[in-house]
Amino acid sequence: MNIAQIRAETPHCQDKIFINSAGASLMPQQVVNSIHRYLLEEEAHGGYKVADTNPTTIAQFYKEAAQLINAQTHNIAFAHDATDAYTKALSSIPFKIGDVIITSEDDYSSNQIQFLSLKERFGIVLKRIKTLENGDLDIANFQALVAEQKPILVAITHIPTNSGLIQDVKNIGKICEAEDVIFLVDACQSVGQMVVDVQQIKCDFLTTTGRKFLRGPRGTGFLYVSDKILNKGLKPLFIDGNGADWMTPFTFKVLADAKRFEHWERPYALMVGFTTALRYANELGMQNIQQRNQSLMQRFRANLAAIPAVTTFDKGSRTANILTFRKQDKSLERIQEVFDKNKIYHNVSTKNWGVIDYAKKGVDWTIRLSPHYFNTLAEMDEVASIIDRI
């Protein structure tokens, strides 16, 4: 990877240490320029005319998204964010009272809230897979839970928001396929930072967002829907006139492809920017991005491990580009003050984002750092040395 060129295309990574790609990353210049150009067209002609005259530009979004996750274009739906994709997927499942959802202790907070909301309104039963001592999913426990509970849905967050953990979605997917259970993967933090391949994961739905490791604009995301789900005729509960045609006063006909999960109104300029970001990732190559990310994190984790007063809150046998830490006797305010003075862009994760995880760890906040391939090894050294001096 040509890091010098990548950094030149991300000019604002030069005057700060930006390590918040798990929040909202820095967009490459090409992404911002493509949004500008499209908006200027809309300024001149109005949105409808521009969309009508640019069908291939918009079609490119589906091609790039599909290529990124090894899917086909008809399996991709644009979403306004990961949660939009997730709730549309959930709404398509015909839950009945007593149906079981199996998830993990580390699934994203909003997903957990949505399951609890389904439990409140529809009497869904929520089960969580046991976590092993090291933080990995207990696959044997999962297998037993599936056999015993016969779930309608298994929902797993690939990389949780706060712990560096990579959950074993491949093994979960294998079991779901064998047992014919719907498998929903929240890949919001993994798509863009590592190789994500829906053929390998064998999921039915996969959700992600544009602004994080994909380096796209805010207000974008996408949903992958498998052929199995499309062929079963599942559709979002509140489908609109884009996803279906109103045929007679009491009937409607659903689209054949995953676009049945989209709303008619979409932010076209942002879609174009998101397409540029997806192309950027595809051209760099996810394998290269993943390798670069691993080498950055190896250095960063080793640096922090060498500071005795620092506790990192990593868990699991495989870790990603999210690292949370605290420093003995140092308040959140003090660490943030030093980070702000040194222009270290970071995020704070609090216990409501991981109720079960934080209770186990016995803390109520951590600082979250999430480097990405445009960061440098020198930055990993500098941040560690600044933390050491706090």
Q: Which residues bind ligand PLP (CB under 6 A)?
A: 81-83, 108, 110, 157, 160-161, 186, 188-189, 209, 221
CB of 266: closest distance to ligand PLP in angstroms?
Answer: 15
61 class by beta-carbon count within 10 Å (0-12 exposed, 13-18 middle, 19+ buried): buried
CB of 19: closest distance to ligand PLP in angstroms?
Answer: 15
| CA distance linking residue 261 with residue 387, whole number of Å | 45
Closer CB to ligand PLP, 41 or 168, in the complex: 168
Write out the E strands in the chain: 17-18, 76-79, 100-104, 125-129, 153-157, 182-186, 205-209, 221-225, 244-248, 251-254, 310-312, 323-327, 344-345, 347-350, 365-369
Per-residue tokens: 35 = 């949004």
Other Cβ atoms closer than 10 A to 7: 14
C-alpha pair distances (Å), 29 with each of 16, 36, 326: 17, 11, 34
What lies within 8 Å, CB to CB, of 80 at 6+ separation is 219, 220, 221, 263, 267
Closer CB to ligand PLP, 153 or 384, in the complex: 153
Closer CB to ligand PLP, 103 or 157, in the complex: 157
CB of 86: closest distance to ligand PLP in angstroms?
Answer: 7
Closer CB to ligand PLP, 62 or 108, in the complex: 108
3 state SS of 161: coil
Per-residue tokens: 148 = 């015993």
| CA distance linking residue 201 with residue 159, whole number of Å | 14
CB of 6: closest distance to ligand PLP in angstroms?
Answer: 24
Closer CB to ligand PLP, 190 or 226, in the complex: 190
- In degrees, rounded to 5, the angle at the alpha carbon of residue 258 between the alpha carbons of residues 196 and 274 is 55
Report the amino acid identity of residue 293: N
Closer CB to ligand PLP, 152 or 214, in the complex: 214
Report the amino acid identity of residue 149: Q
CB of 108: closest distance to ligand PLP in angstroms?
Answer: 4
Per-residue tokens: 361 = 């760890």
Q: How far is C-alpha 244 from the chain's CA centre?
A: 27
3 state SS of 255: coil
Closer CB to ligand PLP, 31 or 51, in the complex: 31
Closer CB to ligand PLP, 188 or 270, in the complex: 188
CB of 99: closest distance to ligand PLP in angstroms?
Answer: 23
CB of 343: closest distance to ligand PLP in angstroms?
Answer: 23
CB of 346: closest distance to ligand PLP in angstroms?
Answer: 14
Closer CB to ligand PLP, 214 or 289, in the complex: 214
Report the amino acid identity of residue 112: Q
Closer CB to ligand PLP, 173 or 221, in the complex: 221
Query: How many H helices and E strands in the chain?
Result: 15, 15
CB of 187: closest distance to ligand PLP in angstroms?
Answer: 8
| CA distance linking residue 241 with residue 351, whole number of Å | 40
CB of 290: closest distance to ligand PLP in angstroms?
Answer: 18
From the list 36, 186, 19, the residue with the least C-alpha distance to 109 is: 186
